[in-house]
Amino acid sequence: MRVAIVNDMMMAVEGLKRILSTATDHQLAWIAINGEEAVNKCANDLPDLILMDLIMPVMNGVDASRKIMVETPCPILIVTGSVEGNSAMIFEAMGAGALDVVKTPVLNAAGDIQGEVTILDKIKTIEKLTRPTVPHGSVNVVQRCASSLAQRSQSLVILGSSTGGPPALAKVLADFPAGFSGSVIIIQHIDAHFACELVEWLDTQCEMKVKIAEEGEKISSGIIYLAATNDHLFMSSAGRLRYTEEPKGMVYRPSVDVFFESVAQHWGGRLVAVLLTGMGRDGAAGLLALRQKGVYTIAQDEASCAVYGMPKAAVALNAAVEVLPLDEISAVLLKRYDSVIRN
């Protein structure tokens, strides 16, 4: 891959250059010291991937990502050390089309780079995501569990999202009242290091309480849960939230397909599933499994997606009962759950 670096801190630039030099299949395309320069360079020499900082002079990483995705679309990985106090900017950049976020590698006193493996793993994942893909079937991660449904009276909304997901999730969930007596579970492709920041940010956007989905947790009404590790979240036969490394070979971690298919096997209460904006195909097979179980399924439409990948794959499989613009999804969900909203 030809990789561009956009960062005004020379120490960070040198660290990223060293990391790229260790991988024989990656080469440095160019370096820009601010977002405006990056936009101009993309117009003349489009790389395979951009490592984009957030806080820069002239034009920040959010505005640069937005402009690049409109004028010369290109995979963007946010690489920033400015996490604390800037989570809104991170999720705004992801809403503009950035694929993921990772902390800037740090050069320690011994001359070693902390975070090198993480960066290279992220680049490898993005390379897989941007390759042409073919439809895949069920991931079958939960076949080791009992197949009987955990019958329950609770109501559940499940959402899967990736590129552009954070602001899309906020848009859908903002209309849910604090008195909503169902539960909501989110699978968003995001690095585990930033999951807590996403929970905190979403909590400011919603009336319902937002929290991390914890291992072995029983689902409670009125709570929004977020998968928060690089392992896959799934629902056990007892209806509890569990994490698993398997299947290890999946590009998407946590995987929407893994969770959706486990819910299709083990949830017996009222349920609506939604697949939002994102690159790739994750969630399409899982949404189909749910529809085949009689679940009401929704896919976000192309016009309102930051990246029309995951919903497009679901539509191609006829996995969605409805295909809706982002700003109509919450109204449909709440209408279907009128009877479970406490007045």
Active site residues: 162, 189, 282
Tokens representing residue 113 in the block: 């780079």
263 and 290 Cβ atoms separated by less than 8 Å: yes
User: In b/e form, how buried is each residue of 80-113, taking b as 16+ CB within 10 angstroms?
Assistant: bbbbeebbebbbbbbbbbbbbbbbbbeeeeeeeb
Q: Rounded CA gap, 105 and 93, in Å?
A: 19
Q: DSSP secondary-structure letter at 182?
A: S
Q: What is the DSSP secondary-structure string of 280-330?
A: SSTTHHHHHHHHHTT-EEEEE-GGG-SSBSHHHHHHHTT--SEEE-HHHHH
Q: Rounded CA gap, 225 and 169, in Å?
A: 12
Tokens representing residue 226 in the block: 């977020």
